[in-house]
Structure 1
Amino acid sequence: MPADPYDDTAPWPRVDQGEQTSHEGPPHDNGESTARRAAEATTRGATATGRATGRAASYALRRARTASHAQGAGESGLSRVIELHAFNAAGDAAVAISLAGTIFFADPGGARGPVALFLVLTMLPFAVVAPLIGPFLDRFSHGRRWAIGATFAARGLCCIVAADAVASGSFLLYPSALGCLVASKAYGVARAATVPRLLPPTMTLVKANSRISLAGVVGAAVSGPLAAGAALAGGQWSLRYAFVVFAAGTILAILLPGRADASAGEKSVTLTGERQKLRLPVHVAFALRCNAGLRMLSGFLTIYMAFLLNQDPFPGWEDRRTLLLGLVIGAAGLGNTVGLGLGNLLRRVNPTITVVVVLLADAVAALLVAVFYSLPTAVIFGLVVGIAQALGKLALDSLIQQDTPEQYRTSAFARSETFLQLSWVIGGAIGIALDPAWGPGVGLGVLSALIVAWTAYVVLTRPRERAEPRVG
């Protein structure tokens, strides 16, 4: 007779009713313990990763703040402008990524119509607005912080309208994008006029502008992937992300030091020789003409190459149009960063010679890509355009600092920035006027002819000797 399993005297261990026999698998409590231990391990790993990421981000932030506050920039308030420009570039990068997805690449074969309309809306109003920005800031120079803050607030509002337009397919996308662009240009003018007011005694304007530009590169580099990630859910989300960035920038602009509004002793300049104003010194005007060619070429590269590479990509790149465009336009961005670095190393080079050399380099690069059109020459073209634009702008800033009397310097920066922004828009308009369907030889040939002609004109009309600035 088998033993009773519940008998304490049985020869095998007693098995309670609530227990499971060995053939029924492991106890249920062990499964719950394993899951709990796995969850705890995952939590600990995530916590450790978060702490490491936080420490890295904190270290990077401390290093960035140390760099922005160096050489008296923290005491003078210039560090605030440096940080503000990083937010500006971050927001503009998010807007550019969103527009690239909603306008440029929404329809690979039929985007020229919407973009042509966009540039017409951009070109005509900006041609009127740009010449008014400098005088407006001259008249209300005591409210420069609020003027800069208004450019951020306006872009934030336009981003919200554009986001709703993208989601609903509304035509309001184009006027709101136009508003972002005009406000961005107005910011550039206002910032250029504010920097001399916050310049530390131990720093030159060229170095200050170089540091500000590098902050913009960093801001765009950090913001670009975030905006691209948001754009995966739709172009409206990258625009909403841009709104958050511009809202933060609005607050930072208003918190700029009071010295940004100090205009005591400042006077205005003119590009046309208006009476009672200082006409730009001849070498500054010469450098400005050189930079106009550089900026026009940059606008053309951005618009025309976007259409050309999108509609007629290189063989083997038909399914990677966005990457192809990123290589060429990205080369221009890389060139700009390289140019800013070279600008700090080439401080002793004559700036008048620098603007001529970089303009000649642009003309040669344009001829090269027109005659030997290929991916390598297109990348070289973008790289040269970026380097030339950065070095040309730093040389122009240096000449304004050297040749323009201190009381006129703020206005000189504002007027030159306005002129250069308008040159970019003209270059973009030329790019949209040349149909990529005509072939790269036609479009790039016209471009190279224009830039060679402009280079010849600038070189032949260069000033022969340095002239002292005089008041008209």
Structure 2
Amino acid sequence: MAAPNPDSPTAERGGTVSRGFGAFRRAGAFTMRQARRASEAQGAGESGLSRLIHMHFFNTAGDAAVAISLAGTLFFTVPSGEARGQVALFLGLTMLPFAIVAPLIGPFLDRFAHGRRWAIGATMAIRAFLCWVLAGAVITESNLLFPAALGVLVASKAYGVTRAAAVPRLLPQEFTLVKANGRVSLSGIVGVAVSAPIAGLASLAGPEWVLRYAFLLFVAATIAAIRLPSRVDSSEGEGDLLLRGEDKGRTGSVRIPPAVAYALRANCGPRWMSGFLIMFMAFQLRENPIDGWSVELLTALVVGGAASGNFLGVVLASGLKKIKPAITVSAVLVADVTVVVFGFLFYGVLALALLGLVAGLGQALAKFSLDATIQRDVPHRVQASAFARSDTTLQLAWVIGGFTGIAMPLDPPRLGLGVAVVVLAAWSVFAFTRRPQRAPRTVQTGN
């Protein structure tokens, strides 16, 4: 058998491809080394915060893959009326654990040696299992499609609550909570940016392959959660943040400060709007698309605008040296009302893009303001409880907003936005009337 000619065109093309893959592999390895170095900088590696950052990367990468897979199956292949009914039913059921069970999770986990790490890992493992179930359901059009998809949503929201309680336990010296949460959020953005193109390529082979890719990501995230430092489980010396109407807590518990209560109430507005916008527009654009624009492109415009706004908000908040939380959350509420009014009056492509952009930007800035207020006004021993309770409240606001969006009539298109204007305006007035009567203080973010 003759040896291949090294000067042949085939050998030349093979060498080019080989060199290309080699360059890609080296570039990927360099990127991973730089990312690891950045995540472990300023003591984050020694404190264990870097492990949580890596875990959050896999979490958001998996969520992005699930969203891409279901975009073409959950909303665009099932009849609209059937989809709305099933999504409304299961989304309504998600309100139960957030409203009743979530306040009990922290004290319950304190009784176990590895409670929080396993709780975080459980939210990952559940999503891994459900992604594998979904991969089969999208092929066979099984009745498990909607329960599994909403189960992924519930587990994702539950992860947000359990992670929020872990961050204060992993702070390096001279690190602020705002800075730590900013670094975690940035890792999530990187996770989406890296995962979305891969999931997009996998979707060419079918949505089930994207879900199998998500399964692998959530398995990696589960392992990362279990490998978090043991201090994540420690609750020694901690107390609870007591909301209005609550009288009992652990030793050292404190009542929620007025400034924190205001920031939390104000944050509920942007979170409600985010849930409303996603669910309402998912069905609205499908039933009443704008002339000359495809449903998929319009949906991508809204979702892309929200993602871009969230990225911009994280970058702005992370780059600010100082922040005035009360002014920021108030401005976000006003901006949200304004952009929804604009969407109601001038419904169209530009209005939809602005709705997504402002919703994402406002949600990010408002959450950083809440973090800064908790850092400033809540004693350190109660901050883990404060983050868990605040995230539970915000997740519930998102679910209520999503449920409202599904319940809205789709015709005429402006009706739902009109209702959103009334709800946001009324909530803004309610929040403003309970604003603490003192000069807003500036918070050092530590960036």
Pick the TM interval, shorter chain: over 0.9
Contact 1:103 1:111 in 2 (8 A): no
Output the CA distance in 1 between the equivalents of 2:380 and 2:81.
Answer: 46
Match of 1:225 in 2: 197
Pairwise CA distance, 1:279: 2.3
Structure 2 counterparts to residues 308-347 of structure 1, below 5 A: 308-317=284-293, 320-347=294-321
- Given candidates 439, 448, 462, the residue that maps to 2:435 is 462
Which one of the candidate residues 81, 102, 105 is aligned to 1:136?
Answer: 105
Q: Distance in 2 between matches of 1:375 and 1:362?
A: 18
Paired amino acid for 1:281: P
Per the alignment, residue 148 of structure 2 pairs with 176
Number of the residue aligned with 1:65: 36
Among 117, 126, 130, the residue aligned to 1:145: 117
Q: Which residue does the alignment assign to 1:83?
A: 54
Tell whether the 8 Å contact from 1:134 to 1:411 is kept in structure 2 after alignment: no
Once the two structures are TM-superposed, the CA of residue 435 in structure 1 deviates from its matched residue by 2.3
Q: CA deviation digits over 1:225-279, x for unaligned, max 9?
A: 2222222222222111111110111111111111211211111122233223322
Show the counterpart of 1:428: 402
The answer to whether the aligner puts 1:286 opposite 2:262 as a matched pair is: yes
Q: Per-residue CA shift, 1:120-143, capped at 9, x if unaligned?
A: 212224323454134223321342
Counterpart CA distance in 2 for 1:64 and 1:158 is: 30
Equivalent in 100, 109, 113 of residue 82 of structure 2: 113
Match of 2:445 in 1: none
Q: Distance in 1 between matches of 2:155 and 2:417?
A: 30
Tell me which residue corresponds to 2:72: 101
Q: CA deviation at 1:81?
A: 0.7
Alpha-carbon separation, structure 1, partners of 2:61 and 2:330 = 32
Q: For the structure 1 residues 115 and 66, does the alpha-carbon distance in structure 2 shift closer, same or farther, using more than 3 Å as the test?
A: farther
What is aligned with 2:161? 189
Measure the CA separation in 2 of the matches of 1:55 and 1:312: 48
> Contact 2:98–2:396 at 8 Å: present in 1 too?
no
CA offset digits 1:382-421 (Å, max 9, x no partner): 1111110000000001111111111111011001101101
Task: Measure the CA separation in 2 of the matches of 1:440 and 1:454.
Answer: 23
Matched position secondary structure for 1:449 = helix
- 8 Å Cα contact 1:273-1:279 kept in structure 2: no
What's 2:372 paired with? Answer: 398
3-state SS of the aligned residue for 2:322? coil
Question: Which runs of no fewer than 5 residues in structure 2 stay unpaired?
Answer: 441-447
2:423 paired residue number: 450
2:151 corresponds to which letter in structure 1? Answer: G
Match 1:267 to one of 215, 235, 239: 239
Of the structure 1 ranges 114-123 and 353-362, higher mean CA displacement relative to structure 2 is found in 114-123
**Quick one: distance in 1 between partners of 2:341 and 2:224?**
44
State the shift of 1:85 in Å: 0.6
Deviations 1:322-369 (A, max 9, x none): 122111210110000000111123342311111101111111011011
Aligned residue for 1:262, secondary structure, equals coil
Q: Secondary structure at the match of 2:205?
A: coil
Aligned residues: 433
Instruction: Letter of the 1:169 partner, please give it.
Output: E
Residues of 1 paired with 2:226 and 2:44: CA distance?
Answer: 18
Offset at residue 198 of structure 1 (A): 0.2
Say if 2:165 and 2:388, in contact at 8 Å, map to a contact too. yes
CA distance in 2, matches of 1:39, 1:327: 43
2:340 is aligned with 1:371: no
Q: 1:24 is matched with which residue?
A: none
User: 1 CA distance for matches of 2:46 and 2:97?
Assistant: 38
Quick check: 2:98–2:395 contact (8 Å CA) kept in 1? no
- Structure 2 Cα separation of the partners of residues 365 and 125 of structure 1: 28
Question: Within 1, Cα distance between the matches of 2:218 and 2:228?
Answer: 15
Aligned CA RMSD, in angstroms, stands at 2.0
Moved more, 169-178 or 152-161: 169-178
For residues 379-398 of structure 1, the aligned pairs below 5 Å read 379-398=353-372
> CA shift at 1:282, angstroms?
1.0
Amino acid corresponding to residue 292 of structure 1 in structure 2: C
> What CA distance in whole angstroms lies between the structure 2 residues aligned with 1:117 and 1:279?
40
| Distance (whole Å) between structure 2 residues aligned to residue 460 and residue 274 of structure 1 | 22
